[in-house]
Amino acid sequence: MDKFRITGGRSLKGRISISGAKNSALPCMAAALLTAETVTLHNIPYVRDIITQRRLLEDIGATVLTPELRTHKISASHIELFEAPYELVKTMRASVLALGPLLARFGKAKVSLPGGCAIGTRPIDLHLAGFQQLGAEVKLEAGNVVARAPKDGRLRGADVHFEKSTVTGTENLMMAASLARGRTTLYNAAREPEIADLAELLNKMGARIRGAGTPTIQIEGVEALGGAEHTIIPDRIETGTFIVAAAITKSELEIKDCRPEHSATLIAKLREVGVEIKELNQSTLHVAGAGKLAGSDVTTEPHPGFPTDMQAQYMTLMTQAEGRAAVTETVFENRFMHTSELQRMGARIHIDGRTATVEGAARLTGAPVLASDLRASASLVLAGLVAEGETMIHRVYHIDRGYERIEAKLQSVGADIERIRDSVTASLSQTAEPDAG
Ligand code: EPU
């Protein structure tokens, strides 16, 4: 298994370019299953989850060409299988995004029911209840969700009220409803920028979706969808992670090819704790982490609230702030796996239920630590950048799922980080373990 060796204490300087958003690319790739024509996607990040999603599409009969590294041309004209098997779903929960498109276009779909993962139980009951409201019959057979459209093969539009905001649930229903008969209204829909990006692609394919990005989305079903070309939005969580990298090392970084408006809540919070962030233009931020940081409480919430995917990185930053900060996680029930590793590096964190209280500023010292999920791993990299001495992060395959060559990007601005490869066990371990994402 690959490891990262980081020697902390270096100041960073330079420019970092942000890759495409993994969590937008994954549903957009699934959306290509809705049509027999070619869907061309640009700005696809080169990360492991995308490789897994590509494998899923190819396994069921789609062809995926990559004329350039970050461009995927997907053709789902000859789909032979209508299922996402356990082997793929267990390595990547986003495989459930195949369910909506397959059910809507072919009238049937089978997807292994994902189990719990590193950050919580994460059921998909709200996706399934939504499909049922669109007229599908949904059964559980031998660990698989088996869904069938009504007899005429087409889902029918309906009003769907989500009990709780769900990102991939909203995406699955939006894709399914695009090919349903009649109008669907999604209430309490998730508002993440990735939802609006997917809707933009679907509308280019001929769908009729209004309101994506707001809590109420209206979809007029159409008979068929066609090909389209689309550029994936920049990754707001990668953007946030590099803003924190500048802040925690008290460095100056220019972060380009990003969309600051997608990170507005995070940017406001970081300004409040003392990080200087300037918007140079619509796609470039200048971050200076010069002065003292002040501890400040945060509570994660669905967008536009503070993102759960930045909670671990913010907590690491708070270990370096003066005073106390209460970090409350409301989206997932078990997303504090990084705290025990941060404690081993010297952080003072006390957990009580869903709140972790961080006492700063603590002197962090390098240590061997274990990455447990994608964002937890990012928080350990950040801790390693500021810790005294050497930090060895084990199981960095978690970080490779969602960050494109994070070590290369950090090296390019002066960080002392290197990947230590272990090719013997890598391929086995990388597919063996369930994870968040
Ligand atoms: N939930 C249910 N039932 C459902 C669906 C969700 O109870 O049917 C619960 C979940 O257990 C959780 C909450 O609702 O407590 C929110 O979950 P959501 O469905 O919004 O999460 P997701 O769609 O599975 C996506 C991202 C995650 C990100 C969350 C929250 C993708 C592929 N994944 O997951 O990204 O944390 O939204 O913003 O878009 C990551 O990139 O590291 C990552 C974990």
Q: Report CA-CA distances (Å) from 80 to 33, 57, 112, 148.
A: 12, 11, 17, 16
Helices 167-178 and 193-204: angle between axes, nearest 10 degrees? 10
Question: Over its length of 437 residues, how does the chain's per-residue pLDDT go in tens digits?
Answer: 899 999 999 999 999 999 999 999 999 999 999 999 999 999 999 999 999 999 999 999 999 999 999 999 999 999 989 998 888 888 898 999 999 999 999 999 999 888 667 777 788 999 999 999 999 999 999 889 999 999 999 999 999 999 999 999 999 999 999 999 999 999 999 999 999 999 999 999 999 999 999 999 999 999 999 999 999 999 999 999 999 999 999 999 999 999 999 999 999 999 999 999 999 999 999 999 878 999 999 999 999 999 999 999 999 999 999 999 999 999 998 899 999 999 999 999 999 999 999 998 999 999 999 988 999 999 999 999 999 999 999 999 899 999 999 999 999 999 999 999 986 554 444 444 556 66
Pick the atom of ligand 1 nearest to 237's CA: 41
Distance CA 130, CA 147 (A): 12
Residue 368 Cα to ligand 1 middle (Å) = 29
Q: Is 258 noted as a catalytic residue in this protein? A: no
Q: Tell me what pLDDT residue 245 has.
A: 98
Between vectors from CA 396 to CA 393 and to CA 397, what angle results, nearest 5°? Answer: 165
- Beta-carbon neighbour count of residue 94 at 10 Å? 26
* Structure-token match 């599908």, residue found: 136
| Closest atom of ligand 1 to CA, residue 303 | 38
What DSSP state is assigned to residue 303?
A: T
Identify the residues whose C-beta falls under 6 Å from ligand 1. 23, 26, 93-94, 120, 122-127, 164, 166-169, 190, 308-309, 331-332, 374-375, 402, 436-437
Q: Is 408 helix (H, G, I), strand (E, B) or coil?
A: helix
C-alpha distance across the termini of the chain, in Å: 19
**17, two tokens:** 């370019």
408 residue type, one letter: A
- Which pLDDT value is given to residue 431? 44
Res 404: pLDDT: 96
Largest distance between two CA atoms of the chain:
66
- Measured from the Cβ of residue 11, the count of other Cβ atoms closer than 10 Å reads 14
SS (H, E, C) 95-122: HHHHHHHHHHHHCEEEEECCCCECCECC
Give the residue whose CA is nearest to atom 44 of ligand 1: 437
**What is d(CA 274, CA 7) in angstroms, rounded to the nearest whole number?**
25
Q: Specify the pLDDT at position 116.
A: 65
- pLDDT score at 88: 85
Q: What's the angle, vertex CA 84, arms to CA 81 and CA 90, rounded to 5?
A: 155
Q: Supply the pLDDT for residue 430.
A: 46
Among candidate residues 117, 232, 349, 387, the one labeled active-site is 117
CA dihedral over 50, 199, 59, 133, signed as positive or negative: positive
Which segments of 367-422 does DSSP mark as H helices, in order?
374-386, 397-400, 406-412
Separation between Cα atoms, residue 99 and residue 126, nearest integer Å: 13
